[in-house]
Structure 1
């Protein structure tokens, strides 16, 4: 860093993006990073849940990356904890369990030759249609899979997952997230293997024994050894702006420690601020309100995130399915996807039990989001039992865990609104926002780590204002990262 050693960097959020940023800043020697985390442990979205002697990730955080820098970091901090697994996944469709991604011959047996012929004809006809002037998620998916398959399977699954009419989703949703690639690729998969680096779904992946929090512990240990500090149970209430419009301090409330009656107000001053919190929250914390941030604040309010509820069930079986991922596209089932923790690491549950976690997306304020945990648990239990995976009497216990702002919702105008937000934040001169929530970016865990490393490299190499400007100049690059399911 050019400006002199030991400057203070305040990082909001100790998820993998924040931890990677802190580690690289501390290694550079010019910054003294301090992480502020509202929870009682680091990890953010990459956390594990423990109850009644079992453990499960909140979202199955497999280790797979096409970014050499991230691969090298993970190897350096967690090599002894990594295991290699062969992927096993199924999809529940029309009361049948099919391999996922679907195999055409398997689909043929499940759906019949007439329906499959319609899928093929529809795919061919779609190739003859002129492309619309403005692509949407729906238009790209139709082009990739054909109208009949889109209407039969992909439209209802998309509406169920994103809780919005698929015609109102931006095309970027399809560009980064299509697991099967296209109907053509699906068929080609019968004839040849996908080339490395062009996979549309993983065949093998690595996992950190003990769950995502093991990697988080390794990242934090490395960051701490390099000189970073961590404040837990510390919720930022305000980012105080000075007379020039730069961030001067983070004002936080430290949650009461066990056995104490009150929390304590804290003030953390710094020359640099890095945020990984959701953009509407970030813009609301920048005070006093300034006219030049008004457009950014209004745009942030138009950005919408999906909340998620995780229904975790302990089942009295050694193994439920052995699958890593289970997919539930049909609308009558409340959950979109499930996973069995022991299929990633057998030590996640006792030998005679297993735990399955079911993901439910919801839009803030909708009827589902307002339902009680008890009703969501009851409904999810009835629905998963109806699939035949196990009997209700085999369930020992269940719970519901909710995560707000879990995933950005790419509505048609999201890129316009996001551009206004980032333009406003750029003008502050000493604040960088990154990560899935902080950059409103569909990504995997390795992408968030890479964002932290890239931001820190710039901040270690240039004057702060120059580095911040360079960061926002390349924000669009992260929209091109490809998600491999």
Structure 2
């Protein structure tokens, strides 16, 4: 038997392959010729890329048609060729990006989503009057030009850019976010600055004479900035957001998520006046975002149109909602099928959605649902469900070590309180972070560019609250949380409580991955375990257990699709790539 992707020997195979490639490339050129002239150069590159991908896809399909006896999966005909079938678990933006990559290269794709909508956290849900509510401020930005170009093409009828304008209330005043040295300096008295300088000097000396291993986020912040600054802001705020003290979070969390601020700059700035003050924080792992894009109709427009393109690519492609994956079937080191059942909507009494895996001990909205299971055979699986849930779905195909490692990973739940306010504008910024409110972040959709999510004389405010499943926030009604948040906003002078017209909640059991001390060992175990399955890939914020934004999640989805199209093995692609640099596992 020839290896997948090897050249074919007989004339019949070559004839089918050439005919298929000519048709695919002709269709690609017709599609691209319909685009605007300004994109002509990019389109020529796309035609070449599509041709190369189609060539590989033809090889895969012909190989599959000739060696399908022991590959138990449904395949459909495409001009005499049989197409590989990929199941995507999770209809969020990462899963949709993967599905779109595969579908527009000719593969059969079935996207499975437990909710009654697609988009996951990157969605816009409608309230009683049709006003749109996001899962927090999901504006688009991209460090990867290819991803940004994809977003712009999908929302070509309206995807305006706006300068980033985010603030934080710190020690009673509003500053730019993330905090910069100048802002911290402004809030400090000379006495406090002297204490911070002493702590910083002590830590600098300690690093040189007796360096200590950095185990926790507290270790990292204290050694980088000193105990005073840690206690002033980073310690209390991190505890509020994540629900545990920084001493229980891994040092890599702080390294990746907290800007490195030079204490020398802070102290010098506090002792100077006027233009002599200096500023600047160093972002080691997050390049500065200065421009944001947002569709006027809501962030969920991108996900909706990606799903439409998947279905349009082939009539056999499906994006199935209200469909919960209950288990993944495997034979040896290959996944062969998924089992699913129909589940009801999670929308009820002011709650627009509750995202969940169905594997939770607490907060499982599908508990007790016993609809019959359905088996969907497939050639490959793209997973974007939370990594621990994937291990659980694999059942006996996963090792005991992998199951133990998965139990070490946990997520912080989120509750978004959406408020429809009877005034056209409420905030002086797109988003504002708070350290002393029920919510961590307050956002106004209109200020991001969402001019059509509600009536012109109204506005939508989103209050992000991190919480734990089953706690007071999680159990409170939309009405109670709406009144509570409206009062706090009125206290800040942003609105009047009487202007509250509607309140809703959007919830997720898996909002943010929590980087507990020691999580790296669990991740290493799971990365090794998943190397066994070449036709199973996992990615995204939940699926790869990485706190990433929508642009990187989309890039992960594209990478997973391209890997499956390549016909390569994981050991040849990602075996030598550190976890931090991986886009899938």
Q: Same fold (TM over 0.5)?
A: yes
The equivalent position to 2:573 in structure 1, one of 467, 470, 476, is 470
Q: Give the whole-Å Cα distance in 1 for the aligned partners of 2:372 and 2:583.
A: 42
Residue by residue over 1:345-383, the C-alpha shift from the partner in whole angstroms, topping out at 9 and shown as x without a partner, is: 232222222221111112345565455555544543443
Unmatched tracts of structure 1, length 5 or more: none
CA distance in 2, matches of 1:28, 1:420: 33
Q: Deviations over 1:298-355 (max 9, x none)?
A: 211110001101111222222111311110123xx22111111111123222222222
Secondary structure at the counterpart of residue 97 of structure 1: strand
State the match for 2:204 in structure 1.
Answer: 127
Distance 1:117 1:90 in 2: 27
Q: Does structure 2 retain, via aligned residues, the 8 Å contact 1:53–1:350?
A: no
User: How far does residue 98 in structure 1 lie from its aligned partner after superposition?
Assistant: 3.3
Change (3 A) 1:438 1:180: same
Q: Which residue of 2 aligns with 1:226?
A: 313
Q: Is 2:181–2:263's contact at 8 Å kept on the other side of the alignment?
A: no
- Note if 1:459 corresponds to 2:558: no
Deviation at 1:439, TM superposition (A): 0.6
Tell me the number of residue pairs that the alignment of Structure 1 and Structure 2 aligns: 471
Q: 1:193 to 1:209 in 2, by over 3 A?
A: farther
2:117 alignment partner, SS class: coil
5 Å matches for 1:155-234?
Answer: 155-179=235-259, 181-183=261-263, 191=278, 201-227=288-314, 228-234=317-323
Aligned match of 1:42? 118
Rounded to whole Å, the distance in 1 between the matches of 2:554 and 2:422 is 37
Matched, 1:65 2:142: yes
**SS of residue paired to 1:302:** coil
Identify the match of residue 340 of structure 1 among 444, 461, 479: 444
The structure-2 alpha-carbon separation of the partners of 1:11 and 1:123, relative to structure 1 and needing over 3 Å to count, comes to same
SS in 1 for 2:98: helix
Farther-moved stretch of structure 1 (363-372 vs 64-73) = 363-372
Say if 2:140 is the partner of 1:54.
no
Instruction: Say whether the 8 Å CA contact 2:96–2:306 is kept in structure 1.
Output: yes
Counterpart-to-counterpart distance in 2, 1:249 and 1:106: 55
1:116-161 Cα shifts (integer Å, max 9, x gaps): 4434444444333314223432222224433212101111001111
Residues in 2 aligned to 1:192 and 1:115: alpha-carbon distance in whole angstroms: 18
The match for 1:78 is: 155
Q: Is the 8 A contact 1:176 1:442 kept in 2?
A: no
Distance 2:430 2:461 in 1: 10
Q: What is the SS of the residue equivalent to 2:230?
A: helix
Question: Could you tell me which residue of structure 2 aligns to residue 295 of structure 1?
Answer: 401
Residue deviations 1:391-414 (CA, integer Å, cap 9, x gap): 322222222221111110001111
Describe the SS at the equivalent of 1:10.
Answer: strand
**Once the 2 structures are TM-superposed, how far is the Cα of residue 423 of structure 1 from its aligned partner?**
2.1
- Kindly provide the CA deviation profile for residues 248-284 of structure 1, in whole angstroms up to 9, marking residues without a partner as x: 21111123699xx995632210010111001222222
- Please say if residues 338 and 359 of structure 1, whose CA atoms lie closer than 8 Å, have aligned partners that are also in contact: yes
Larger Cα Rg: Structure 1 or Structure 2?
2
- Residue equivalent to 1:21: 98
* SS in structure 1 of the partner of residue 306 of structure 2: helix
Is the counterpart of residue 141 in structure 1 residue 224 in structure 2?
no
SS in 1 for 2:126: strand
Q: Aligned partners of 2:89 and 2:294: how far apart in 1? A: 27
Calculate the aligned-residue CA RMSD, in Å. Answer: 3.2
From 264, 273, 277, the counterpart of 2:385: 277
Comparing 152-161 and 112-121, the one that deviates more = 112-121
CA drift at 1:68:
2.6
2:16 aligned partner: none
8 Å CA contact 1:426–1:468 kept in 2: the answer is yes
How does 1:394-409 map onto structure 2 within 5 Å? 394-409=499-514
Task: Please list, as runs of the form range in 1=range in 2, the aligned pairs for 1:255-404 lying within 5 A after superposition.
Answer: 255=343, 265-287=373-395, 289-290=396-397, 293-330=399-436, 333-345=437-449, 346-366=451-471, 368-371=473-476, 373=478, 375-404=480-509
Note if contact 1:91-1:97 (Cα within 8 Å) is conserved in structure 2.
yes
Match of residue 414 from structure 1: 519
Indicate whether 1:97 and 2:174 are aligned: yes
Is 1:311–1:401's contact at 8 Å kept on the other side of the alignment? yes
**How many angstroms does 1:218 deviate by?**
2.8
CA 1:404–1:198 in structure 2 vs 1: closer, same or farther (change >3 Å)? closer
